[in-house]
Amino acid sequence: MKRAEMRARLERRSEPWDLAIVGGGATGLGVAVDAAARGYSVALFEGVDFGKGTSSRSTKLVHGGVRYLRQGNIPLVMDALRERGILRRNAPHLVHDLPFVVPNYDWWEAPFYGIGLKVYDALAGRYGFGASKLLSKAETVERLPTIETEGLRGGVVYHDGQFDDARLLVHLARTAVGQGAVLVNHAPVTGLLRDDAGVIAGVRVRDAEAGDELEVEARVVVNATGPFADGVRRLDDPEARGMIRPSQGIHLVLDRRFLPGDSAIMVPDTDDGRVLFAVPWHDRVIVGTTDTPVDDVSLEPVPLADEVAFVLEHAARYLVDDPGPDDVLSTFAGLRPLVGSDDADDTASLSRDHTLQISPSGLVTITGGKWTTYRKMAEDTVDHAAVLAGLEPVPCPTKELQIHGYHPAADRFGSLAVYGADAPELQALAAGDPALAEPLHPRLPALRAEVVWAAREEMARTVDDVLARRTRSLLLDARAAIEVAPDVAALLARELGRDENWEERQVASFTALAKGYLVT
């Protein structure tokens, strides 16, 4: 997957594409995979980098949604549980089972949550990850060695899925390319093309790297920009009423000592009525999340001080060693693209179902939803887009489509397991140059070879692309990521043919960005 090849393929085509997709997050890449796998011609444009926004800032869970079960949204839970099973089957190198423990401190919690989670198991059916069961106090402590034991009665364990969201995004991009799609990152869409009847007939794109503009004709345009969907809709109709109610969710990343076992914690009812997770991930612990309505959408939303305090306070209730601000290795925020009216009471009450809208001029907008159901969202979108574009109907093939890197036993590759079938090539790259076999930083798991691989094979163009999404270093330890930025810039400059001025600008830009991931 090389950007120069993508750009060349884009320029060589003389006839309209079947689909032009705006947005390279989970939804946009899902649509690209689906449409290309059906044999349609696909061009996708991402304004910055794949997953720069919401899709790389999740809780790292592929789950049915226990909270949605409590809300009575059974169809959403069933869809998500089914999609969870399909994703694990198609990407076993990236999705795995994770046991979750609900600690019980009141007498009624064991029967209440125990029954609810048995319903969760039943809804999963043949897509289940494992049966839930009640735990004694001793069994709960065995699974959660650092759990607060005062008043602890026991717990309930159930099973859900975990994944690396940004790594899955890269592998979805490579899957789409393998199916024939053309993808270009760092290429924002600046306008929409129309035919003589005023119907949308393509997109105007600015290549931020090359510095030029392109007009790309397409039979249908899909707006898959998540929280930014209203901005694209207003390129179509400046008077379009907003449909996005953005909600911010933050996560704190802690050292593994705060949760050393192999199980996660699920707190089913926080002070604001949300679910709180403490999840082991890449030898760290992720704790979150919040649900804060925000007025403005940003590519780099910043955690609010009261959100950080809220998560730390709730974590301290359940952990023996209370984490404080100085213990936070990194903090990150994401915006949920919730769909709702202006008079909704709060964002927590808004549906997590996806919404598909077709404007009078033919712009297809897909938004809302959740990571776990990205494939089903894509299927619905392509079904409608194909009809709108007058394309030959083709059944969706993605239920059985293996995602790039598919490997049934990727754990054998150690820290490179998330690369799946690509791991041996990466190992060979490191073996060919001893300098590339070295870790980027003593506190980070990534190798220097991963920077080179990201530039050569995964369209990484900036230090941010590498440290935030290709390796997740920024999320694992923001200070370490800042310290290693000059080294990453030098490696990238060598691969991309950049000069020292470019390196200096990259380091300055990334350092300023990364400071927003620190708790000060």
H and E: helices and strands count for the chain: 16, 18
Which class for 467: exposed (0-12), middle (13-18), buried (19 or more C-beta within 10 A)?
Answer: buried
Could you give the number of structural domains in the chain? 3
Say how many residues make up the chain: 520
Give the separation between CA 56 and CA 51, rounded to whole angstroms: 5
Residue that finishes a domain, picked among 292, 322, 347:
347
For residues 444 and 506, membership in a common domain is answered with yes
Give the separation between CA 311 and CA 373, rounded to whole angstroms: 26
For residues 323 and 460, membership in a common domain is answered with no
Give the separation between CA 337 and CA 367, rounded to whole angstroms: 7
Q: What is the pLDDT of residue 352?
A: 53
In a domain, 60, yes or no: no
Which class for 442: exposed (0-12), middle (13-18), buried (19 or more C-beta within 10 A)?
Answer: exposed
In a domain, 195, yes or no: yes
Give the separation between CA 520 and CA 511, rounded to whole angstroms: 15
Residue that finishes a domain, picked among 347, 373, 397:
347
The parent domain of residue 228 ranges over: 3-54+167-243+351-389
Angle at 309 between CA 307 and CA 315, to 5 degrees: 105
Q: What is the pLDDT of residue 520?
A: 79
For residues 253 and 126, membership in a common domain is answered with yes
Residue type for position 176: A
For residues 510 and 417, membership in a common domain is answered with yes
Give the separation between CA 369 and CA 56, rounded to whole angstroms: 15
For residues 282 and 336, membership in a common domain is answered with yes
Collapsing DSSP to helix, strand or coil, 196 comes out as coil
Q: Decide the pairing of beta strands 182-184 and 42-45.
A: parallel
For residues 235 and 305, membership in a common domain is answered with no
Beta bridge partners of 22: 45, 223
**Which CATH number is 509's domain given?**
1.10.8.870
Q: What is the pLDDT of residue 346?
A: 47
In a domain, 403, yes or no: no
Q: Work out the end-to-end distance of the chain between its first and last CA atoms, rounded to an integer number of angstroms.
A: 39
In a domain, 114, yes or no: yes
**Which CATH number is 338's domain given?**
3.30.9.10
Q: What is the pLDDT of residue 360?
A: 96
For residues 415 and 481, membership in a common domain is answered with yes
In a domain, 444, yes or no: yes
In a domain, 397, yes or no: no
DSSP string over 115-177: HHHHHHHHHHGGG-----EEE-HHHHHHH-TTB--TT--EEEEEEEEEE-HHHHHHHHHHHHH
Distances (CA, A) of 299 to 33, 35, 55: 24, 27, 11
**Which CATH number is 46's domain given?**
3.50.50.60
For residues 121 and 258, membership in a common domain is answered with yes
pLDDT in tens, 5-32: 999 999 999 999 999 999 999 999 999 9
Give the separation between CA 121 and CA 218, rounded to whole angstroms: 44
Q: Decide the pairing of beta strands 212-223 and 292-293.
A: unpaired
For residues 415 and 445, membership in a common domain is answered with yes
* Ordered alpha helix ranges (H), 179-209: none
Residue that finishes a domain, picked among 347, 375, 402:
347
| C-alpha atoms less than 13 angstroms from C-alpha of 16 in its C-beta half-sphere | 19
In a domain, 395, yes or no: no
Give the separation between CA 432 and CA 170, rounded to whole angstroms: 24
pLDDT in tens, 159-189: 999 999 999 999 999 999 999 999 999 999 9
For residues 219 and 262, membership in a common domain is answered with no
Which ranges of the chain have pLDDT less than 70? 341-352
For residues 182 and 257, membership in a common domain is answered with no
In a domain, 472, yes or no: yes
Q: What is the pLDDT of residue 350?
A: 44
Collapsing DSSP to helix, strand or coil, 351 comes out as coil
Helices 26-37, 165-178: axis angle to 10 degrees equals 30
Give the separation between CA 163 and CA 403, rounded to whole angstroms: 13
For residues 320 and 448, membership in a common domain is answered with no
* 162, 281 Cβ separation under 8 angstroms: yes
